[in-house]
Amino acid sequence: MNKFKESSFKIITYTASLFTIIILFGIIGSLFYGGIPIFNIVSIKEFLFNPAWHPTSDPPDFGILSLIIGSFLVTLGALIISIPLGLGSAIYISEIASARMREILKPIIELLAGIPSIVYGLFGVAFLSPFLIKIFNIPNGLNLFSASIILGIMVIPIISSMSEDALSTVPKNLREASLALGANKWETIIKIVLPAARSGVLTSIILGFGRAVGETMVVLMIAGGAAQIPKGIFQPVRPMPASVAAEMGETVVGSSHFHALFGIAIVLFVITFISILITEFVVGRKMK
């Protein structure tokens, strides 16, 4: 009887664990099930490298190059803002702030991470966009620039809290040795602490990239929505997640447009999966 209880409990935990694997395959499976049929209509090469996205015209164009470029530019913009601010905050909290200051600043950054993306989206549409129109005198406040700013603010806490963890695990004696040899605080940070924590810092940046590339609501509301390769930072773009979210509700299930949207999701999944693999293998190995 007891033996039966032991093994059935064990089996429950095994089954639960198998579920996570099943779910992952379920996600991959449903993306490919929905997305593969589009490649009977357009070739993979045309899908990826044709800049014309006119899924509802006749004949339709299913090229997502402008969406991919839109995603990358918005993400790049977000990282340009969030890497210095996030990493700078992390270094300040870990290396310069007093213990009391640290106790206050750390939870604040954690709270920042908990703000739902939809609230950022609202802030971007209702406040930032009119504000940008006023100060830059541009016709449209929903564009690459405003989406990058909001995404950047969203990514700051991810980079900051993970980098801060990495910095705080750098052994104290490294810092003390550096200071004892006559280096000042700044030199210690730049030449000793940061290099020692570089794999953790790099991981935080890659995770921030993954978050920015996949974030949906912010780019859906703020990026402006035009499927084009932008000619300036104040031009509207249509990143991949925005296209999927905006068009999925309006398309007929089973149409080629429907399959094309799943095709976009495959590309998005591959990009984030590669970034996860990089953190797993490249960065993870360096740490040892």
Partner 1 sequence: MNKREIKAFLGVNFLRLFIIITLIFLIIFLYVIFSKGGKVLSWSFITESPRKFMTEGGIYPAIVGTFWLTVLSIGSALPLGVFTAIFITSYAKPFWLVRMVRVAINTLAGVPSIIYGLFGLTVFVRMFHFDVSILSGALTLGVLALPVIINASEEALRSVPKDFIEASLALGATERQTILKVILPTALPSILTGTIISIGRVAGETAPILFTAATFYTRKLPTSIMDEVMVLPYHIYALMTEGCHADKQVPIAYGTAVVLLILVLLISTVAIIIRYRIRKKRKW
Which C-beta is closer to partner 1: that of 58 or that of 114? 114
In angstroms, the CA 105 to CA 112 distance is 11
Write out the binding residues for partner 1, residues 135-194 only, by CB under 8 A.
Answer: 153, 156, 160, 184-187, 189-190
Helix axes 2-35, 256-277, angle to 10 degrees: 120
Which C-beta is closer to partner 1: that of 35 or that of 63? 35
CB-based burial of residue 136 (10 Å sphere; 0-12 exposed, 13-18 middle, 19+ buried)? exposed
In angstroms, the CA 220 to CA 236 distance is 11
Write out the binding residues for partner 1, residues 24-63 only, by CB under 8 A.
Answer: 24, 26-27, 30-31, 33-34
Listed residue (207, 185, 215) closest to 83, CA to CA: 207
The residue within the footprint of partner 1, chosen from 52, 125, 133, 233 (CB under 8 A), is: 125
Q: Which two tokens stand for residue 82?
A: 């969030």
Q: Tell me if 262 contacts partner 1 by CB under 8 A.
A: yes
Write out the binding residues for partner 1, residues 79-118 only, by CB under 8 A.
Answer: 84-89, 91-93, 96, 105, 107-112, 114-118
Which C-beta is closer to partner 1: that of 39 or that of 231? 39
Report the nearest approach of partner 1 to the CB of residue 59 (Å): 25
Helices (H) and strands (E) in the chain, counts: 15, 2
Q: How many residues bind partner 1 (CB under 8 A)?
A: 84
Report the nearest approach of partner 1 to the CB of residue 58 (Å): 25
In angstroms, the CA 24 to CA 28 distance is 6
Write out the binding residues for partner 1, residues 217-246 only, by CB under 8 A.
Answer: 217, 221, 241, 244-245
